[in-house]
Amino acid sequence: MQHYSGFGLIKHSLSHHENWQRAWRNPTPKKKYDVIVIGGGGHGLATAYYLAKEFGVTNVAVIEKGYLGGGNTARNTTIVRSNYLWDEAAHLYEHAMKLWEGLSQDLNYNVMFSQRGVLNLGHTLQDMRDIQRRVNANRLNGIDGEVLDAKQVQELVPHMDCSANTRYPVLGASWQPRAGVARHDAVAWGYARGADAHGVDLIQQTAVTDLIIEDGACVGVKTDRYGEIRADRVGSVVAGNSSVIAAMGGFELPLESHPLQALVSEPIKPILDTVVMSNHVHGYVSQSDKGDLVIGAGIDGYNGYGQRGSFPTIEHTLQAIVELFPIFSRVRMNRQWGGVVDTCPDACPILSETPVKNLFFNCGWGTGGFKATPGSGHVFAASLAKGEMHPLAKPFSMFRFHNGALVDEHGAAGVAH
């Protein structure tokens, strides 16, 4: 793998940047792998990367039906934070946060991780009590967090309307300074390049159409382009399409796939240097390095695999944003899109063994899995390498919906992010 550096940039400028090595190969799959990962989004690619780099399993293929990162990874609004309420979730997301903090160096790829802080606003007395409770829980888990009052919020975000004149006045917020945003495509590409360099085969434009199951164990997959490809273990990391793969294995998951939309404005001058989220008026906004306002909110209520939703949903989102930032009312929106998110009843992911032996699922991240990409990939890789779930993943078994040990994160995950 060609090492990226400032010096390399200068060197390649001498040949007009025409001689860069391709970031990854485009191989024809082998007949058999140790591990097949279905889905080349951020989580699948991170899984493959850590399998090869940390756990010594290099005979790995990632099978992606479209292009790498073209699913939710490239459609999300890139908020990264770890201020979840319950220990199980807090440990998992904080594991990811620690990996984020060294990720660009580890991958030798600039993922533009920017720890600009995230505010979760409170607009009611109950919001503020929940915020106090969550921040206290975070701090007990060693996760940074502060409770701010309206005046402190106003100092951080001078353009937001923190006056008492609004319909839902800002009473305060939780503030996680280490939280922030990252460049989503770069995360997928950085992991892809790293995985490829460690020998992982990235198979694009190839859909898994069925699972090969012999004696109750998964022994490979069928694909539309290369027929059967065998493997000792198969990990499904397909987000919104997880129920489709589960149906191939003959079981159901506690998931529903919903459209989740987002939109960006025309680029404007720097006006917002942190991330503002509000569960109560239901919207969130940050500003990208290019200058666009990046805006999102909640899912469309109906199930949908169409990667688009209904207009009223984004209309409500913008109402919330304009309520918070009247100054944005005449900014024009440039692009709008949707992804398919796999929502789980307790707003926590599924990292799990399944009723089929040697078949593992990583899904259910719903509206907020981008932030977990490195941690999710790391613990899932450990689980696939060993054939047994990593301790951080154990609480997120799909069978918690049988025994009732749910991890209810609806409070911390209230607005889609």
Partner 1 sequence: MLHIYCPHCCEYREEEEFHVKGQAHLARPLDPEACSDKEWGEYLYFRKNPRGLHHELWVHAAGCRKFFNVTRDTVSYEIKEVYLIGEKPSVVAASVSAK
- Out of ligand FAD, partner 1, none, what residue 275 binds, judged by CB under 5 to 8 A for its kind, is none
Stretch binding ligand FAD (CB under 6 A), from 25-33, 52-60, 259-267, 352-360? 259-267
**Separation of alpha carbons 195 and 188, rounded Å:** 10
Of positions 176, 257, 274, 317, contacts partner 1 by CB under 8 A = 257
Comparing CB distances to partner 1, the nearer of 75 and 390 is 75
Long-range contacts of 322-328 (CB under 8 A, 24+ apart): 323/161, 323/166, 323/167, 323/168, 323/281, 324/121, 324/160, 324/161, 324/170, 324/276, 324/278, 324/281, 324/283, 324/285, 325/159, 325/160, 325/161, 325/285, 326/161, 327/159, 327/271, 328/265, 328/285, 328/293
| Sign of the dihedral through C-alpha 301, 302, 304, 309 | negative
238 binds ligand FAD (CB under 6 A): yes
Q: One symbol per residue from 329 to 368: x for binding ligand FAD (CB under 6 A), - otherwise; what is it?
A: ----------x-x-----------------------x-xx
CB of 353 within 8 A of CB of 376? no
DSSP line for 388-402: S--TTTGGG-TTHHH
Name the minimum Å distance from CB 242 to partner 1. Answer: 8
> Minimal distance in Å, beta carbon 259 to partner 1?
9
Positions in 275-314 near partner 1 (CB under 8 A): 301-306, 310-312
Please identify which residue in 29, 71, 190, 298 interacts with ligand FAD, judged by CB under 6 A.
71
Shortest distance (Å) from residue 199 CB to ligand FAD: 20
Question: Are 181 and 137 a contacting pair, CB within 8 Å?
Answer: no
The interface mask with partner 1, positions 358-377, x = CB under 8 A, is: --------------------
Single-letter amino acid, residue 39: G
Among 241, 274, 373, 376, binds partner 1 (CB under 8 A): 241
Task: List the one residue from 24, 33, 41, 325 that touches ligand FAD (CB under 6 A).
Answer: 41
- Binding to ligand FAD by residue 42, rule CB under 6 A? yes
Interaction between residue 239 and ligand FAD (CB under 6 A) = yes
C-beta of 297: minimal distance to ligand FAD in Å? 9
Q: How far is CA 356 from the centre of its chain?
A: 26
- Applying CB under 6 A, which part among 18-26, 115-123, 169-177, 231-239 lies near ligand FAD? 231-239
For residue 403, state whether it binds partner 1 (rule: CB under 8 A): yes
CA gap 54, 372 in Å, rounded: 18
Q: Does 401 engage in binding with partner 1 (CB under 8 A)?
A: yes
Q: Print the SS3 string covering 311-325.
A: HHHHHHHHHHHHHHC
220 belongs to the binding site for ligand FAD (CB under 6 A)? no
Q: Please, which contacts does 26-29 make with residues 24 or more away whose CB atoms are closer than 8 Å?
A: 26/202, 26/204, 27/201, 27/202, 27/203, 28/226, 29/61, 29/63, 29/201, 29/203, 29/206, 29/223, 29/226, 29/229
Question: Coil, helix or strand for 195?
Answer: helix
- Counting contacts by CB under 6 A, is residue 298 touching ligand FAD? no
| 80's tokens | 């990264």
> Contact between 235 and ligand FAD (CB under 6 A)?
no
Nearer to partner 1, 146 or 256 (CB): 256
Name the binder of 247 from partner 1, ligand FAD, none, CB < 5-8 A by kind: partner 1
The site for partner 1 (CB under 8 A) is made up of: 241, 243-244, 247-248, 250, 252-257, 301-306, 310-312, 345, 401-404
Binding-site ranges for ligand FAD (CB under 6 A): 38-44, 63-66, 70-73, 75-79, 207-208, 237-239, 241, 260-262, 296, 339, 341, 365, 367-371, 417
